[in-house]
Amino acid sequence: MIVGKTPSWRIVLKYTGRPVAVHVLVATAVVIAYSEFELTFLAVPALPVTVLAATVGILLTFRNNSAYDRWWEARTLWGSLVNTSRTFSRQVLTFLPGSLSNETSAVSSVPRAASRLLRTAVETSPHGGTLGVSDGAVRDRFGKARGAFIAPHAPTSEAALGVLQAPREGRADIPVLFESITADARELVYAQIGFVNALRCHLRRQDPFPSIQPFFHPSVVEALREEQNVPTAIVVWMSARLRRVLSEVPGVESMLRLTILNNSLTDLMNILGACERIKNTPIPRQYDVLPHAMVRAYLVLLPLGVVSDLGLLTPFVTAVIAFLFIAMDAVGRDVETPFENSYSDIPMTALCRTIEINLRQMLGETELPPPLQPEDGLLY
Amino acid sequence: MIVGKTPSWRIVLKYTGRPVAVHVLVATAVVIAYSEFELTFLAVPALPVTVLAATVGILLTFRNNSAYDRWWEARTLWGSLVNTSRTFSRQVLTFLPGSLSNETSAVSSVPRAASRLLRTAVETSPHGGTLGVSDGAVRDRFGKARGAFIAPHAPTSEAALGVLQAPREGRADIPVLFESITADARELVYAQIGFVNALRCHLRRQDPFPSIQPFFHPSVVEALREEQNVPTAIVVWMSARLRRVLSEVPGVESMLRLTILNNSLTDLMNILGACERIKNTPIPRQYDVLPHAMVRAYLVLLPLGVVSDLGLLTPFVTAVIAFLFIAMDAVGRDVETPFENSYSDIPMTALCRTIEINLRQMLGETELPPPLQPEDGLLY
Amino acid sequence: MIVGKTPSWRIVLKYTGRPVAVHVLVATAVVIAYSEFELTFLAVPALPVTVLAATVGILLTFRNNSAYDRWWEARTLWGSLVNTSRTFSRQVLTFLPGSLSNETSAVSSVPRAASRLLRTAVETSPHGGTLGVSDGAVRDRFGKARGAFIAPHAPTSEAALGVLQAPREGRADIPVLFESITADARELVYAQIGFVNALRCHLRRQDPFPSIQPFFHPSVVEALREEQNVPTAIVVWMSARLRRVLSEVPGVESMLRLTILNNSLTDLMNILGACERIKNTPIPRQYDVLPHAMVRAYLVLLPLGVVSDLGLLTPFVTAVIAFLFIAMDAVGRDVETPFENSYSDIPMTALCRTIEINLRQMLGETELPPPLQPEDGLLY
Amino acid sequence: MIVGKTPSWRIVLKYTGRPVAVHVLVATAVVIAYSEFELTFLAVPALPVTVLAATVGILLTFRNNSAYDRWWEARTLWGSLVNTSRTFSRQVLTFLPGSLSNETSAVSSVPRAASRLLRTAVETSPHGGTLGVSDGAVRDRFGKARGAFIAPHAPTSEAALGVLQAPREGRADIPVLFESITADARELVYAQIGFVNALRCHLRRQDPFPSIQPFFHPSVVEALREEQNVPTAIVVWMSARLRRVLSEVPGVESMLRLTILNNSLTDLMNILGACERIKNTPIPRQYDVLPHAMVRAYLVLLPLGVVSDLGLLTPFVTAVIAFLFIAMDAVGRDVETPFENSYSDIPMTALCRTIEINLRQMLGETELPPPLQPEDGLLY
Amino acid sequence: MIVGKTPSWRIVLKYTGRPVAVHVLVATAVVIAYSEFELTFLAVPALPVTVLAATVGILLTFRNNSAYDRWWEARTLWGSLVNTSRTFSRQVLTFLPGSLSNETSAVSSVPRAASRLLRTAVETSPHGGTLGVSDGAVRDRFGKARGAFIAPHAPTSEAALGVLQAPREGRADIPVLFESITADARELVYAQIGFVNALRCHLRRQDPFPSIQPFFHPSVVEALREEQNVPTAIVVWMSARLRRVLSEVPGVESMLRLTILNNSLTDLMNILGACERIKNTPIPRQYDVLPHAMVRAYLVLLPLGVVSDLGLLTPFVTAVIAFLFIAMDAVGRDVETPFENSYSDIPMTALCRTIEINLRQMLGETELPPPLQPEDGLLY
């Protein structure tokens, strides 16, 4: 994806340079033939040129419209992939059981928090008075707190709520449990990161294994090597793993948890299939060939049609119109294929990195890779 | 968002002033060169001008169409955010358990009402005869009540139903319970208000903490400071908190409640991701640059094409057409980015305030901030 | 909404009368100035007029397209409101428990039927042989029944099935129960009627209380007066009431019933929010102002461009084109705001009446208000 | 709906005959007046004609676009009705309990199969070895079976699997149960057939009772006669009946079954409401009247504009253009109303028949009505 | 579907050859008649030609737009079919019970894995320490693993994780169970493969039985022969089979599993119905006939309009414009019917093969048919 506000001329020329040059040369040849060698039969009246121009314009717009719709659908699918990845991980952290031995005791049916943030969610309300105080404070002082909303620093309200920052007991033992309990959850969240990377490579026809290796157990990677459609296989694997993990919970409740997580897996499968559809099914080739052929035919006719009126300005006008039509045709052809490693590619590598950062932070990890930066105004 | 019916000329000029002036100057120069200095080779025939005009018009329409679609999608997403916020809060008030000690007794499995309105929902039907009377009255007298429907004041039907306004016993003790029971609910609803404010700041690349501070416990705010994607983290926090709160309810029922609330959290995550998609993925730059370049090229050609026919009127006609084309190009560029603090921004601050008012009123609070008013015909 | 096939000229003139007259006068003035006073510099060549015409046409189409999409979305939302109202009422009648004392006995776990129709649903199959006979008859005789399908009267098949109309015992005691049991259901269905009326007034910025008074208990109406967003408050109230009513059913089953009804309430909230979105967010003002300005500029240029060719016919041609462009601009402006009490309003009052008739008939009521009739070809 | 590839000229002429003839006559009159009586002031320059033509074309396309969208939405709704009817019937056959006495025994909790096909689904796997053998056979021999896939006849694989066609015991007693158990299911499936026929008549403003009589018990038909909205009433009736039938199943399980079937009923209600929306809400009349008026105004101007150039060819050219514009206007007007018994109607009668055939075959019936055939190239 | 980048000229000529030739001949005849025989009355002014050209272009674009939308909807439906097939199979493997005797024991409530991949999902976490170690390793070494992400080979992290590849006990006995348990699952997954093949043949009006025979028990195939709508019947059969299989699981849990699988069957039914809708409902014939007639009328007028200006170039220009218009008309007609075995067909056979490969690999089969390859640049 081109990120910079002003695309470098290198890209523009790569798109349009050669064909525009060709047509300018043709126009120059026509001018010379017409004015120097007086081949006046070359001069065609302007009428058919006018007629064709409108139709070519409409045709190019129709084509760019379809191409842009495909591109935006592809981008929306990857946006959904970001959402579903986050939601799936959130659900894994919420719905997976704790370790089996603790599940029966009341207090441990809550999943152990993976990160400092999640610890605040689980710990701050020990049935007791703290919460009542907390909320009372927030609400009673709210007129002032709103003032804090406008003036960013709001020292008063922070102070007012400060009493709640007193240490809570029972916190020390959490980290001990923390290491072991979220093992299943971490494995599933890692599998999700692996899935998005596998999907990226699948769409770009690259070998997925270097990218997904860090996120799976080696035995899983080995088994995946035998699969023809790696992303599909990962979803099936996650499904079986979830079923395995949730079999520790009694029947009906297990099914209810599985139902929720199953919906997210179905969403992943739908996103995968829709990306494959866009990848494998181009716009009917006829809609590709017709505008292309017509633009070229039109640009051959154009100098003939205007040479008698414009004379020496013919190559200049031809260049402007050729640039517009050829650029629109080339952009349409490019945007139409959003998974081809071209300039207009959906920035899948960057999105995979974003997902990895988000999901690993949910797991409470702190050594995260940096977001991908654009290079030369391009983001892949 | 521009709210006033007639946008101030200040905005219009800011958009189009400079470039239109430039092109009018160019046109004037062309007229002078043509008529005073008799540089007649400048006069181009009108044909290519006509040809380009239609294509530029179609191109600008295609571009404005895409831009408007993005803008409307962004607005629809924030509309969904309003809906989901209200629905999430309604569900929190409906599905969260009462305090654990009371859950087992039949009468208290109903959540305590937060506001006067909700008290009417919970109290007015104590299994007994009142309801039968009430409804009998409404239905029996309905022919008359319909009359009341047309004549606004309808004193008769109000009087007829007035007997029901007799005091109900058992009401006095509600406020006592009220303070403590809805603590969890209030915390979650406040977190939802915090989420929408965090999303607003996230999209406008602003520091979210001044805005979300009043709605969270200080320890949560501290933990959130470590997160890279604050809105995502808030949703994950709400999910863990819900799981914690609902762990007081027996297994299967707890899962059913969690399923419903989980759907709302998934909706929030989807809205967040879709907003990020619109924010981070501009329309392919080519569709931005091509119309812009073409409008400018066209406006340079225009005076050359019409100077021989129009003479001194050339600058005037150029001004009109330049205004139309430049304004359409600028509007498209502006509307295309709905989260950039520009004139065409989605009024996110106002929507956040609306959500805050609605949600806090659901909690029974009465000291509410006023809705945001537009300034200078602009609403942010 | 304009209902009549041929809109009265009064409406047409109200839209276009004055501006068209102005432009015809201008055109007449131009003709007089040109031909009588020989101000020939007024005659502009036809070219820029042609150029602008196409662009103005495309711009007006783009604008009318967006306006129509908004209008149709608004109409679709109110169509969904009709559907959801019917579905919510159907679900209330199906899923609400009978009176608590009877719930435990097997036979009474079926809701008592509110209307004669619903009695046929509940009564006709008392576990016994009747049904087998009934269906056997339908199927065995079906060759003949199909004949009845083509020939409307089908006396034979009616006679064949007539034996089933014999009186069923146990029917007499239904009406006795009927009065009291559906009290909760009736209250909720009435609340739904109140909701649609409140939404209508909310969107038209009218006082909702005269319209919703007949459908609520006075104490609820009083409590609603304190709410800023009345329709939202009604949905929250219905949610709390449902929770209250269903608390009589054992835990898990209650949650399952609540889940279904909760979905309908979420739909109502989404419809409400989407209507508010259309109401509060106009098409970006720029798209409103640009076509308007351009149409007027074009219509000033038009007589100048054609006066030399058309002479005395100029005002006539100007009138025709002015009518077309001004009408399209005015219609777009009007259709774009579907909740403003204008000619193109969604007929919300009529739809509210339709919903009221449908829902009260579901409750078995027979004294129903008549459907709203159009006045002067307009339906509000 | 017009089915034939080449529509009969009768239809074409009915659409366009008269108005085209009128305009050809006008054009002839203009030619005679111009050339014979030399009324040269009639000859208008071609310019305004050109200007208007493009705008009229764009306007007609916008209108036909909206009309086609409505038509396709209507068709899609009836397609969904086909799907939902099949799904509802499938669910009725799957989720309705067997006869109450047998429900408790393990083996009879499976619904009795209605047709020969469904018997294969229920019978072929009596816990035992057969299935293992069956599937083993399929899989082991699959290389060969694939050959059969390409060569249609595949005698080998049929032979190989032939051992499984050995008679199974316990089959003889199925038909005995079969008659009585599916009575509830048959009644509900028949009600579904009745619903689609009632909806068809409702949309065409016809009396539904001749069509729905064969599918309901006479007492239900009698009760339906009192209802204002018959299709709505049928859905409510089905809902109550389902609740009645499922009350024989224990609480939670009954609710789960009801939840699934309830979703299909909600879909039916949504389809019904959406059809009513299209039926009752025309495209804003202004978009109907403006193109119509403009086409006629244009066709009056046209001969004036071209008579000086074309002379005697004027009526011919007028006829061609009049045919195009009048046909497009008429087709738009026709396609815009898909439920009006016009040539462009959705073929609802044929779809009702298709649904009837599909659903009755699911019930195991074999004497089915034939599909509806088009008459004169039209299908209703 | 045309796959090659450059469609063979054979296809192009088949589409446009004859009609273009006819119009070129007509144009040549006009030129000869005009210049040789001096039939000058043939020369029509260019104006009406210009007028019609724009309208014909807009009309063709509108038509191709609708046609392409249908084609893309058809492709999207088959994409959804791929997704739903994979999801259904995944759900079958996840939610179907193991053999009844083992269901009660804790360890066997997990479905036996069908493939090597799924064995890794079920086996790798025997409650014990392995997993904790595994994940700890992945996380602790992650900085290095990220390096591996960039450098594909990553020997270090593989080595680090290598300890986990130690043999696990208990694996040997899995294959024994494996053969028998997945019999039900395999039968259902095969039925799904049969369904997509039956749908393909149903849409192409071919005999489905050669294609579906290998995937069903012969008794099922026999029963299917009596069905009018084979794909519908297969879905109903799968529904009954699922109900049969899941009747081995206790009530509520069985219903929850059935609910999930039921959703996938509903999706299949919806896809089937939507494909039938596109197959059976062409674009209203009027939109087919009008552009066709207009293109031909225009191409007859064209040589008359340009012969006086272009002279001998007339046939050449006619050929170019005729090719553009006829090709667009023909492509629209072709793309509009995506299930007709034409060049623009959705490649259903290839998609069926893809589904078969994916699903059979999920079952752990290794002898898979190869993907379908395009022939002559066409994929069916």
- pLDDT tens-digit series, residues A89-137: 999 888 876 533 334 333 334 445 566 777 777 665 444 333 333 333 3
Partner residue facing B273 (CB), from A1, A83, A361: A83
In this prediction, residues E84-113 reach a mean pLDDT of: 63
Pairwise pLDDT comparison (A261 vs C309), residue with the higher score: A261
Whether D230 is covered by a domain: the verdict is: no
What are D326-330's contacts with CB under 8 Å, separation 24+? D326/D15, D326/D16, D326/D19, D326/D20, D326/D23, D326/D295, D326/D299, D327/D12, D327/D15, D327/D16, D327/E286, D327/E290, D328/D60, D328/D64, D328/E59, D328/E290, D329/D60, D329/D63, D329/D291, D329/D292, D329/D295, D330/D15, D330/D16
Residue with the larger pLDDT of the pair C132 and E368: E368
CB contact under 8 A, B190 and A138: yes
> Any chain C CB within 8 A of the CB of B199?
no
- Reduced to 3 states, what is the DSSP secondary structure of residue E99? coil
* CA D141 – CA D156 distance, rounded (Å): 10
Query: Nearest Cα to C344, choosing from D282, E321, A175?
Result: D282
Task: Count, in order, helices (H) and strands (E) of chain E.
Answer: 16, 0
For the residues B125-130, what does the mean pLDDT come to?
39
Nearest to E146 among A187, A247, A369 (CB): A369
**Band (D48; pLDDT cuts 50, 70, 90):** low
Q: Does B273 score more than 80 pLDDT?
A: yes
pLDDT tens sequence across E171-229: 333 333 333 346 788 889 999 999 999 999 999 999 999 989 889 888 888 888 888 89
Q: What is the C-alpha to C-alpha distance for residues D296 and D287, in angstroms, rounded to an integer? A: 15
| Rounded CA separation E212/E221 (Å) | 8
Across chain D, mean pLDDT equals 75
Please name the residue that has the structure tokens 């998005």.
Answer: A196
Q: pLDDT-based confidence at A274, cuts 50/70/90?
A: very high
E303-315: pLDDT as tens digits: 887 777 777 778 8
Preferred mutation among B219, B226, B279, B337 to probe A, highest tally of A CBs within 10 A: B219
Domain containing residue D63: 9-74+284-348
Residue D307, Cα to own-chain centre: how many angstroms? 49
Q: Is the dihedral of CA B297, B299, B304, B305 positive or negative?
A: positive
Q: Are B96 and B184 in contact (CB under 8 A)?
A: yes
Number of cross-chain residue pairs from A and B with Cβ atoms under 8 Å apart: 248
| Token output for B261 | 């609330």
Lowest model confidence (mean pLDDT) among B35-39, D31-35, E269-273: B35-39
Q: Which residue of B92, B244, B355 to mutate against A (max A Cβ within 10 Å)?
A: B244
Å from D74 to nearest chain C CA? 13
Residue B46's pLDDT is 66
pLDDT band at residue A340, thresholds of 50, 70 and 90?
confident
pLDDT tens-digit map of B54-68: 778 888 888 888 889
Name the residue among B79, B94, B135 with its Cβ closest to that of C183: B135
Q: Which sign does the torsion angle of CA A148, A153, A156, A158 carry?
A: positive
**What angle, 0 to 180 degrees and rounded to 10, lies between the N-to-C axes of helices B251-280 and A251-280?**
20
**D241 is written with which tokens?**
């009946």
Contacts of B9 (CB under 8 A, 6+ apart): none
Range E12-39 average pLDDT: 82
CB of A184 less than 8 A from some CB of E: yes
Whether residue D354 is contained in a domain is answered as no
Beta-carbon contacts of D93 under 8 Å, excluding residues fewer than 6 positions away, are D111, D114, D118, D182, D185, D189, D362, E236, E239, E240
CB contact under 8 Å between D223 and C252, yes or no, is no
Picking from D68, D81, D112 by the largest number of E CB atoms within 10 A of its own CB, the best residue to mutate is: D68
| Residue D199 scores a pLDDT above 90 | yes
Start-to-end CA span in chain A (Å): 6
Cβ-based neighbours of E17, under 8 Å, separated by 6 or more: none
Q: Which residue from E2, E65, E110 is facing A285, i.e. has the nearest CB?
A: E2
Q: Contact D227/C361, CB-based, under 8 Å?
A: yes
Contacting residues of A for B58, CB less than 8 Å apart: 57-58, 61
pLDDT for E50 equals 65
Q: Residues 335 to 364 of C: which have CB under 8 A from any B CB? A: none
- What is the pLDDT of chain E when averaged over all its residues? 75
Q: Which residues contact A118 (CB under 8 A, 6 or more apart)?
A: A93, A364, B236, B237, B240
- At E83, the amino acid letter reads N
Asked whether residue C38 is assigned to any structural domain, the reply reads: yes
Phi, psi dihedrals of residue A40, rounded to the nearest 5°: -70, -20
Using a 10 angstrom Cβ sphere, with 0-12 exposed, 13-18 middle and 19 or more buried, the burial of residue B282 is: middle
The upper half-sphere exposure of residue C140, i.e. CA atoms within 13 Å in the direction of its Cβ, equals: 10
Report the Cα E262 to chain-centroid distance in Å: 22
> Are the beta carbons of E54 and D53 separated by less than 8 Å?
yes
Of A109, C103, E260, whose CA–CA distance to B252 is shortest?
Answer: A109
Residues in E 118-177 with any Cβ partner in D closer than 8 A: none
Q: Closest to C94 (Cβ–Cβ): which among D55, D218, D243?
A: D243
Nearest-CA distance from E62 to chain D in Å? 7
Residues 277-336, chain E: which have Cβ within 8 Å of D? 277, 281, 283-287, 289-290, 294, 297, 301
Q: Tokens 């606004």 identify what position?
A: B152
- In chain E, the residue whose alpha carbon lies closest to the alpha carbon of D143 is E367
Provide the pLDDT for residue E140.
Answer: 34
Question: Degrees (nearest 5) of the Cα angle D263, D268, D270?
Answer: 95
pLDDT at C325: 86
Q: For residue E324, give the nearest of E53, E46, E44, E49 by alpha carbon.
A: E53
Kindly report, residue by residue over B288-327, the tens digit of the pLDDT: 888 888 888 888 888 887 777 777 777 887 888 888 888 8
Closest CA in chain D for residue E206: D152
Q: D236 pLDDT exceeds 80?
A: yes
Nearest to D253 among E210, E226, E251 (CB): E251
Q: Decide if pLDDT at D153 tops 60.
A: no
Task: Please indicate whether residue D31 or residue B163 has the higher confidence score (pLDDT).
Answer: D31
What would the 3-class secondary structure string for E74-88 be? Answer: HHHHHHHHHHHHHHH
Closest CA to D301 of E46, C331, C295, C310: C310
A 210-239 → E contacts, CB under 8 A: 210-211, 213-215, 217-220, 223-224, 226-229, 232-233, 235-239
The whole-number pLDDT of residue C311 equals 74
Which residue in E61, E182, E187, E244 has the most chain D C-beta atoms within 10 A of its own C-beta, making it the best mutation to test that interface? Answer: E244
Q: How many domains does chain E have?
A: 1
Q: Is residue D259 part of a domain?
A: no
pLDDT in tens, B153-210: 333 333 333 333 333 333 333 333 333 346 788 889 999 999 999 999 999 999 999 9
Coil/strand/helix, residue D364: coil
Closest CA to D69 of B142, E284, C315: E284
- The whole-number pLDDT of residue B115 equals 67
CA distance C156 to C137: 12
Greater confidence (D3 vs A256) lies with A256
Integer angstrom CA distances of residue A363 from A190, A242, A272 = 10, 17, 25
Instruction: Nearest by CB to D219, from C80, C165, C259: name it.
Output: C165
Q: Do C270 and B117 touch (CB under 8 A)?
A: no
Going by C-alpha positions, the residue among B67, B166, B168 that lies closest to residue B127 is B168
Give the tokens for residue A346: 């959906």
Decide if B55 and A50 are in contact by the 8 Å CB cutoff: no
What DSSP letter does each residue of C345-359 carry, written as one string?
A: ---HHHHHHHHHHHH
- DSSP single-letter state for residue B71: H
Mutation choice for A interface testing from B61, B272, B286, B361 by most A CBs within 10 A: B286
| pLDDT more than 90, % of chain D | 20
pLDDT in tens, chain C (380 residues): 777 666 666 777 777 788 888 888 888 888 888 877 777 766 766 666 666 777 788 888 888 888 899 999 999 999 999 999 999 999 988 887 653 333 433 333 444 556 677 777 766 544 433 333 333 333 333 334 333 333 333 333 333 333 333 333 333 333 333 333 467 888 899 999 999 999 999 999 999 999 898 898 888 888 888 888 999 999 988 988 888 888 777 778 888 888 889 999 999 999 999 999 999 888 888 788 888 888 888 888 888 877 777 777 778 878 888 888 888 888 888 888 888 877 788 889 999 999 999 998 888 888 888 888 887 777 77
**Residue recorded with tokens 């040589």:** E303
Distance CA D305, CA B239 (A): 72
Quote the CA–CA distance of D301 and C118 in Å, as a whole number.
63
Of C190, C222, C262, the CB nearest to B138: C190
Let me know the angle formed at the C-alpha of A242 by A241 and A247, rounded to the nearest 5 degrees: 100
pLDDT for the residue A173:
34
CB contact under 8 A, B276 and A82: yes
Stronger pLDDT, B126 or D225, i.e. the higher one: D225
Chain E touched by A101 (CB under 8 Å): no
ipTM of the complex: 0.83
- Residue D14: inside a domain, yes or no? yes
| Residue range A341-372, pLDDT digits in tens | 777 888 899 999 999 999 988 888 888 888 88
Tell me how far CA of residue D72 lies from CA of C91, D330, E269, E281, in angstroms: 30, 17, 20, 9
* pLDDT at residue number B164: 32
DSSP state of D36: I
Whether residue C88 is contained in a domain is answered as: no
Q: What is the pLDDT of residue A5?
A: 63
